[in-house]
Every structure is written in structure tokens, then in C-alpha cells.
Amino acid sequence: MSAPAARARARSLRARLFLLIVLPLVVVAVGASTLRYVQARNMSTELYDQTLKVVAHAVAREVVLTQGDVLADALLDSLVGAIGDPVYYQVSAAGGSFVAGYSDAPIDPLPADLPGGKPVFFDARYLGDPVRVVVQREFIADPVFDGWTTVQVWQTVRQRERLSLILLMQAGAMLAALVLAAAALVWFGINRGLAPLAGLREAVAQRTADELTPIRRAVPPEVAPLVATINQLFHRLRGELERRDAFIGNAAHQLRNPVAAIHAQAEAALESRDPAERAARLADLAEAARRLSRMTRQLLNLDTATHAAPRTDRLDLGDLVAEVARRHVPRALAAGVEVTFDAPGQAVMVRGNRVLLAEAVDNLIDNALRYGAGAARGDVVRLQLSVADGMARIEVCDPGPGIPAAAAEHAFERFVRLGADDGGGSGLGLAIVRAIAERHGGAAELLPVARGCVVRLSLPLAGPVTEPARDRAA
């Protein structure tokens, strides 16, 4: 990962926390502003409606007092100055006859069910503009207005809307200031709160490649599980590196002798003047090269079995064992050894890496032929495949001297060769078998027997043993 990408990811937690905290505040502020706007509209409507009702009373009284004359310009100017928007009116006597005012009222005709003595408000349009209308009926005992007199007053709503917007902008400005102040405080708090993480990151970044000691820094409780996990990772890495260093050291020690032997045999062959002696030296040289080649291959196989993740191919274990056993038949026949294979009548399915599993079976058979058979003509190496407790079991039995029970686990260690005559082995065969078994969720073990040696390789089944088996003769 590049440095800018790493820094972007490092900032992502801070940005995420900031957004998670500030965005709800913004949403609340927008909701509060909307509510405040509604309240402002309602409040301005209430205020202006009450003023409009007072204007209607004043118009009614003035018209009654002047016996139907229009309002004086001075009075109209005073009313407009008091409430801001232009004011229009119409006064009708009993029976609906027009008395004074504007004849083109926005609500004409008026509803017949208007209550008497109580103002009624309407929203309408007048000359293309939205207006607010109040209609009030009053009973007046007068020669001119004898009966129910109706007063209709209307006014444009620009001033109302302007007041609502002013209140909204004031509330919005206040909320915006609060959100900005809260965002600044949140950003400061997040930076302060994440300061231990920045210190932890710097402490880890300053470590060298071979510094895998646990982190001892004081961290917040929320970060403690992460630090504990990192320490566990360091512990595993340290153990793995120690095992790898030990393996490399052992491998170098084990390879030193074969290389030295090859060098000595080559020097002896070059110095020999006798053709027969030279041929013998060359034969020894070829044998030493074969041993070195086998050891090198097994070292690579052990490393692959220990660290490579096995594939999960579904395969028939019986077919695999039979295929590997067939490759050893010529060698067994040359040594006068018989190899038998017993398997269930159905397929035994497992999941794993076919190459690795074949290598494990190959090492088991090779160990049996190399150390356990051939002491006498007619020895038998038995391969047996069975199923029990959800596991497929491969057992390789030989009639050789066997391995003492006290050394059963020691035999699975790397570069361990039990007995004086190692048969030309490298001490890696059983270690490879166990590593491959464990990588596949299984196990490898030596079974206690009275005579000979029995090695069992166990692997989890991939399904029921129901598929028909093919010919598996070894």
C-alpha cells in the first residue's frame, strides 16, 4: 500500500467519527429550522390576523360614524403604516347592499352561513396577489345600517412572509453557529481522543523487522483488545521465525555432510588411476548425489506442507493411495517385498491438496520399504484404508524392527533418524507426513504393536462413503 493511501486510511476513522457525530447535528438543525419556520409562519399569521381584525373594527366604526363615507386617506395611511402591507375593505349593509370601499372584493359573494359577531379569516387572491381576508358581521341599530352589517378587509401577505423569513434566517443563523461550534469542538475532541492511537501507530512504525516484543504502552480500554491481538500476532511471528531459523540451521547442518561427501568422492575419482576404483568412486558419487537430491526435495516438501494453504479439492483417497503404491511396486519386487492394499468397497472422499497428500502417502510407503522391509525375502508391507468416527484412516504396516514407544513422538521431528543404519534417509519423511496431516485437519501417529511398525494417517471425510470404488489393485 502506498504512503498516501495508508495516510488516507489512517484518517478514515477520524473522518468517520466526525461525520457520524456532526451529520446528526446537521439533520437536527435542519429539522429545527423547518419547525421554526412553521412556527414563525403561524406566529406571523396570528399577529397579522389579530391586527387585521382590529382594522376591520376600525373600518366598521369609521364607516358607521361617517354614515357610509369612504375612509380618509390619513386613516388608511396610518393603517398601512401600522401593518406594512396595503389594506383594502368593503362594507355592506343588511341585505348585501354595497355601502363603501372596494366593489371587487376577493370573496364575492360571501358564504351565507357566516356567523354574526365573530371574525372569519380566509386566504384568497386579489389582482393576482395572495391576500389574507377577514370577514366580520355586526348588528347595528342605525337608520342607514339597520340590521347586520358586513365588513370585509383584506391585505397582501408580503409583510407576513418577510417576517417569517426573517425569523427563519435568525433561527438558521443561530443553529448554524451552534453546529459549527459543535463541529469544531467535536473535531478537537476526536483528535484528543484518538491521540493514543496515533502514538500507538508511531510506536509500531518505529519497530525494526526483528523487534517482536509485546507492546507495553498504556492504551484506552477500547483499544486494549486490538493491542492484545497485535501482541498475540507478534508472539506467533516470533515463534515462527525461531522455528524457521532452527529449521534453516538444521538444514544447513544436514546438507553440509552430503555436499562434503560429494566433494570428497569427486576428488577421489579424479585422482584415481585404477579404472575399477574410479568406477566405484563414481558410483559412490552418484549415490551421494541421489541422497542430496532426495534431501533437498524433502526439505522443499516440508516447507510447502508447513506453510502453504492446502487446496480443498474433493478426491477419492483410495484411488490416490493405490496410485502412489503402484509407483513403488518395481522397487518392492526388486527387493523381494510384497505390497498389499486393503480398502472399503466404496469411495472414501476427502478434501485437500492431491499433490501434498500423495507426498505424505509416498513417504509412508518409502519409510516402510526403506526401514521395515527387506530384511528377509517375502516380507509384506500392508496398506489399509478404513473409515471410523468421521475420519479416513491410512495405516502402513511393516514387519521391521519398529520404533520404541518412548521414541514414538521423537520420530516425527525433523532430521531425526532412529537406529544406526538409517537406510540412506534424511530424517524428514515422518515430519512431512505429520505436517501435511495437520494442514488438512488430520493427524499422524505411531500405533503400539508387538512387532514391526504401524503408522496411521487420519484425515477428515468430505462426505459419506457411498460412491462406488474403482479398481485399486496395487
Q: Residue 419 sits in a domain of what CATH number?
A: 3.30.565.10
Q: In the structure grid, which three cell numbers stand for residue 302, read together?
A: 516440508
Same domain? For 251 and 338 the reply is: no
Distance CA 326, CA 329 (A): 5
Strands 380-388 and 98-101 come out as unpaired
Residues 277 and 364 in one domain: no
Half-sphere exposure for 272 (CA within 13 Å, toward CB)? 15
Q: Looking at the DSSP assignment, which residues form a beta bridge with residue 342?
A: 384
Q: What angle do CA 264, 267, 269 make, to 5 degrees?
A: 110
CB 465 within 8 A of CB 349: yes
| Predicted local distance difference test score (pLDDT) of residue 319 | 92
CATH number for position 26 = 3.30.450
Q: Which grid cell is 74?
A: 390619513
Residue linked to cell 517482536: 212
Query: How many domains in the chain?
Result: 3
Query: How are strands ordered across the β-sheet holding 87-92?
Result: 98-101, 87-92, 147-156, 129-140, 120-126
Q: Is residue 472 part of a domain?
A: no
Phi-psi category of residue 127: left, alpha or beta, with phi > 0 → left and psi -120 to 50 → alpha: left
Distance between CA atoms of residues 97 and 335, nearest Å: 136
pTM of the model: 0.49
Same-domain pairing of 317 and 302:
no
* Cβ atoms of 433 and 455 closer than 8 Å: yes
| Cell triple for 221 | 480500554
Those residues whose C-beta lies under 8 Å from the C-beta of residue 30, and which sit 6 or more positions away, are none
The residue type of 264 is A
Three-state SS at 222: coil
Task: Looking at the structure, tell me whether residues 101 and 132 fall in a common domain.
Answer: yes
Q: Could you list the residue range(s) of the whole structural domain that residue 110 is in? A: 3-165
Tell whether 466 is covered by a domain.
no
Residues 383 and 398: their CA atoms lie apart, in Å, by 9
The dihedral region occupied by 299, where left means phi > 0, alpha psi between -120 and 50, and beta the remainder, is alpha
Positive or negative: CA dihedral 435, 437, 441, 444: negative
The helix/strand/coil state of 297 is helix
Cell numbers given for 244: 524457521
Distance between CA atoms of residues 276 and 284, nearest Å:
12
Residues 264 and 331 in one domain: no
Counting other chains too, the contacts that 30-39 makes at CB distance below 8 Å and 24 or more residues apart are 32/171, 32/175, 33/168, 33/171, 33/172, 33/175, 36/167, 36/168, 36/171, 36/172, 37/164, 37/167, 37/168, 37/171
207 in any annotated domain: no
Q: Which of 173, 162, 152 is nearest to 59 (CA)?
A: 152
Report if residue 172 sits inside a domain.
no
Judgement on whether residues 368 and 391 belong to the same structural domain of the protein: yes
Based on the domain organization, do 297 and 336 belong to the same domain?
no
- pLDDT by position in tens, the chain (length 474): 455 554 545 456 778 888 888 888 888 888 888 887 788 778 877 877 887 787 777 777 777 666 655 555 555 666 666 666 777 888 877 766 677 777 788 877 777 777 777 888 888 888 888 888 888 887 766 666 666 778 888 888 887 778 778 877 888 888 888 888 888 888 888 787 777 777 777 777 777 777 787 877 777 777 778 888 888 888 888 887 877 776 677 667 666 767 777 887 788 878 888 888 888 878 878 877 877 777 677 666 666 666 665 567 789 999 999 999 998 888 888 888 889 999 888 889 998 888 888 888 988 998 888 887 655 557 889 999 999 988 999 999 988 888 887 887 888 887 676 654 455 556 777 888 888 888 888 999 999 888 888 999 999 998 665 554 444 545
Same domain, yes or no, for 291 and 385? Answer: no
- 372 and 380 in contact (C-beta within 8 Å)? no
